[in-house]
Amino acid sequence: MPRTLSETVLEASKGQPTVEIIFGSAHVGNYRCFLWDPDGRNPEQLAHGNNIDDVPDSFVIPVDPADLDGHILSQELIVQAADTRPGQVYSVTTTVRQGGKICVGGVIQKSGSLDDVKSLIDFRRFRTA
């Protein structure tokens, strides 16, 4: 895990955060999300899924925001091209919200070229204000 992580700022009074994952460019996407303690240990799976079923790709983090200070959100993302033509691009956007509003540092965007399959990992530290 990287030593310095980007931060997403939560507000203690705004309620439990929600996370939404959107895969763009009509590609197949799979994800797993984990919550780690502030020391980067003891991961607990929060959600897993894909963008080809009827299940919404969003979830609530079932922890009081004040207790999330310092905790780490990780994502494991796999994007698979819908076909084999060259020159494709992928995009994945993860958004963290509280009370329906995007948190500071709560938009995580990944994009680039895609030939077949792309595996992505992201770590983000929560800071509670």
Predicted confidence (pLDDT) per residue in 86-96, tens digit:
888 999 999 99
Predicted confidence (pLDDT) per residue in 67-78, tens digit:
999 999 999 999
Domain count, the chain: 1
Beta strand pairing call for 6-10 and 117-128:
parallel
> What is residue 1's predicted lDDT score, i.e. its pLDDT?
60
Question: What SS3 class is residue 102?
Answer: strand
Domain containing residue 110: CATH number: 2.60.60
Give me the helices (H) in the chain, please: none
Joined together, the tokens standing for residue 49 give 């899924």
> What is residue 122's predicted lDDT score, i.e. its pLDDT?
95
Joined together, the tokens standing for residue 48 give 């897993």
Position 1 in a domain? no
Boundaries of domain holding 14:
6-128
pTM score over 0.85: yes
> What is residue 2's predicted lDDT score, i.e. its pLDDT?
58
**Per-position pLDDT tens, the chain of length 129:** 657 899 999 999 999 999 999 998 778 999 999 999 999 999 999 999 999 999 999 999 999 999 999 999 999 999 998 887 888 899 999 999 999 999 999 999 999 999 889 999 999 999 999
Position 48 in a domain? yes
Joined together, the tokens standing for residue 79 give 């994007």
